[in-house]
A and B are shown apart, each in its own frame.
Chain A
Amino acid sequence: MIRYTLGRLLSLIISLVIASLVIFSVIEVIPGDPASFMLGINAREDTLAALRSEMGLDQPLVVRYFDWVIGLLQGDFGNSWTYKTPVSELISDRIWVSLPLAIYALILSTLIAFPAGILAASRRGGASDVTIMGATQMGVAIPNFWFAMIMVLIFAIHLRWFSAGGFPGWSNPLQGIKSLTLPAISLALPQAAILARIMRSSLLDMLSEDFIRTARAKGLTRGQALWRHAVRNALIPVLTIIGLQFSFLLAGGIIIEQIFFLPGLGRLIFQAISARDLIVVESVVMLLVFTVIIVNFAVDIAYAAVDPRLRIKA
């Protein structure tokens, strides 16, 4: 178990290093002179020079990279050129919208997908299976931003149950959660459809395994065999998908935030792109990638908890 964890940890660090290199080169190397890229062709020479020294462009590449990474490790993301404030402040304001949204959506997606997938698998070929599978086919095909628009049309404009957008902050947690509900549902439903399908097929794979027949020979009913023996084994592939989905939800939030006017990382990155504020773009992207890599690491560790075979093998 220790060895397995250490191995995963090593690969986590390597992933982070490579990810930072890729992001650094896309943002700071490929454009040639990032400063003139950011300021456009009409920039004045003195503002250009100011930005260059602000970004440390007079330094060699290697030094710049290490400065950036060391800064990141200390929580110093640099200063935004357009906002004139530290990027870390910008991010810390907005992460409290984006992260809760992603987690909210993940919880919804899992809460919907698990029972649906298990029900469909246990009633294979029956009416509930056919209904659930039909619904998930639709769910997988729906673009989430369109779904969000429809939800706004129905629940905000016609029924007036929710507001069409905006975020009142966390001073009143209930209000905060309420305003994240429509966005979270639009994010979660398509993902829940995918997850339910995978849960079902993974369970069906398990149900055809020999050990299920052994369990049945012991006197377990179909349902007992499913619960006691298939679900835990079926979780192994499902966990992978949950890990991948988190990154999808976090990133998918970028679009959904636009629709619901939520002041999250998505809005920040869009404003930064139109303002060509590369420092902000770079930091937000790195933060998102970092979160995703950490989540995948957690998933890997969760594997070992589910599957004893992983605990000794590297």
Chain B
Amino acid sequence: MSLLNVKNLSLSIGSFQILHDVSIDVLPGEIVAITGESGSGKSLTALAVMGLLPYGSVMKGSIWLEEKNILTTSEHDLCSMRGRAMGMVFQEPMTALNPVKTIGNQVAETIIIHERVTKFEANKRAADMLQRVGLTVDPSRYPHELSGGQRQRVVIAMAIALRPKLLIADEPTTALDVTTQARILELLKDLVADFDMGLLIITHDLAVVAEIADKIVVMQNGCIVEAAKTQELLHNIRHPYTKALFNASTHRVILPKYIPSSPLLSVESVARTYNLPRKSVFGSRPKFQALDGVSFHISQGERVGLVGESGCGKSTLTRAILGLEEVQRGQIMLDGQSVFSQKKPNLEVRRKMQVVFQDPYGSFNPRHRVDRLIAEPLHVLENTPIGKDRDLAISKALEDVGLSAVDSKKYIHEFSGGQRQRIAIARALIIEPELIIFDEAVSALDVSVRAQVLDLIADLCRKRPLAYLFISHDLSVVRTVTDRVMVMQLGQIIEQGQTEQVFSNPQHTYTQSLIAAAPTLPEVTYAIETV
């Protein structure tokens, strides 16, 4: 008998129908993954099971957890089920914990709420549970003293403290680094086997799905388009959407061949330290070495990747190259000129370098029209084009990225995430820079849109020689769009070389562990399409 049985669930909030006839089964000890792109309704399905939907949600169908139908259970009874019969883990470990309570207290709370136990006993059981999830820190610590991975372990400990039969995990590893992700996934698998729990995991990452799930459910626009056992599905993908998803996830672009040429950017033994707050009253301030003797070159027309986990110094390096932050030692030169001249960012250099950021929503001033947004870099030029020339430059930039000149009078909120990243690229291209920094530029995009933007980048490289530094935590993306790759750890570049070579034959142990930790999609086969 199934543990969780979602039957023909439909959900609407206001006049929006969000879920259509969703049916999912989870058996004890089974891992079921719901996957799909943003807006597919996968997270709301999870919240519906917990009975934690926003106000104004109207549901039809049924959600059976063993003998209880969640839809007809009173809020009072739901409260006694949450945490005891079913637990939930959320995406963002940084904000999921109460900052003013100790982690031990927060885990113990699950026990105190549901069982008549003494505080002492609850705390003891909480400490045991924290140990069970592999956390070695003291339960009297506060959340802000822990790393993201550690906090996620606390959230998991809270969710499983009473050994619920069902655990729901909503993108539990999306906010984590690959090596941490691997360990958290390992932990979840282990807990499922140990407690004979059902696990309903929601994730957009197909590689994670393929690695962990016994059963896969693919959702699109609130409907289940395909659901099957993992091996069955991987070997016989039926639905065109699933096929498109897998295609996009393994999408490889074709870059024009890079012909070695003269150097463009040179970074010479750059170092940057930050002072941390004092730990004691009179002690000296501890220092954090964000960049420690970083040196590398990028040649004209060369596509270079930079990978590393959070805190490795990627962002500091990016900011230093962009001239947003001064370095304490070493030198950064673009085309023979220093990025900083006399403590001030060098305008000469700014003409040759542009940037595309990660967040398609935060990258634009919401109060300006697209033409003004795209034209912003023009003012660094010696002869800033005005009037007709300016309009011409704007429409050319828009057309280069696959948009049209009529888009220039719209506001940014009228565009989708993928279109916004195209506009960001148009803004970078308008002054025809020699070097573009892509700072996690495709990380926030859904796989299908990401594939399109990667194609666009490859396209642009074919039109004219373009050098870029592609910074990303996603190894598979870096592998396809770069000629050369650098791996960063603890403020140092520990390995660099031809992309294919580094990926197929990593030298440094850290690179090896990174590549090993990154989940990969197995070979898939498609069913013969029926029209």
Contact = CB atoms under 8 A, between A and B. Distances in A.
* Direct A–B contact in complex, judged by CB atoms less than 8 Å apart: yes
Interface of A: 2-3, 6, 209-211, 213-221, 224, 228-229, 232-233, 306-309, 312-314
A213 to B, nearest CB: 7
A214 B87 contact: no
Q: Name the 3 nearest CB pairs between A and B, nearest first.
A: A219-B83, A210-B95, A217-B88
Nearest to A221: B79
A227 to B, nearest CB: 12
Given A3-B281, A218-B110, 12 more contacts: A209-B95, A213-B90, A214-B96, A215-B98, A215-B109, A219-B84, A220-B113, A221-B76, A232-B100, A308-B99, A313-B277, A314-B277
Contacts of B280: 3
B80 interface: yes
Contacts of A2: 281
Contacts of B241: none
Interface string B88-107: 10101001111111000000
Contacts, number: 84
Contacts of A220: 79, 83, 109, 113
Nearest to A217: B88
A165 to B, nearest CB: 45
Contacts of B101: 229
B114 to A, nearest CB: 6
A307 B99 contact: yes
A29 B149 CA distance: 62
Contacts of B464: none
Nearest to A307: B100
B388 interface: no
A312 B279 contact: yes
Nearest to A232: B100
A221 B95 contact: no
Contacts of A314: 277-278
B186 interface: no
B82 interface: yes
A266 B81 CA distance: 60
Interface of B: 50, 52, 75-76, 79-84, 87-88, 90, 92, 95-101, 109-110, 113-114, 142, 144, 155, 158-159, 277-281
A211 B90 CA distance: 10
B113 A218 contact: yes
A126 B76 CA distance: 20
A312 B280 CA distance: 9
Contact of A219 (B97, B113, B278, B279): B113
Nearest to B107: A218
A314 B109 CA distance: 30
A4 B243 CA distance: 58
Given A219-B84, A219-B110, A220-B113, A6 B52 contact: no
A186 B281 CA distance: 45
B199 to A, nearest CB: 15
A210 B92 contact: yes
B281 A219 contact: no
A96 B65 CA distance: 66
A229 B278 contact: no
A3 B52 contact: no
A220 B75 CA distance: 11
A211 B98 contact: yes
B65 to A, nearest CB: 14
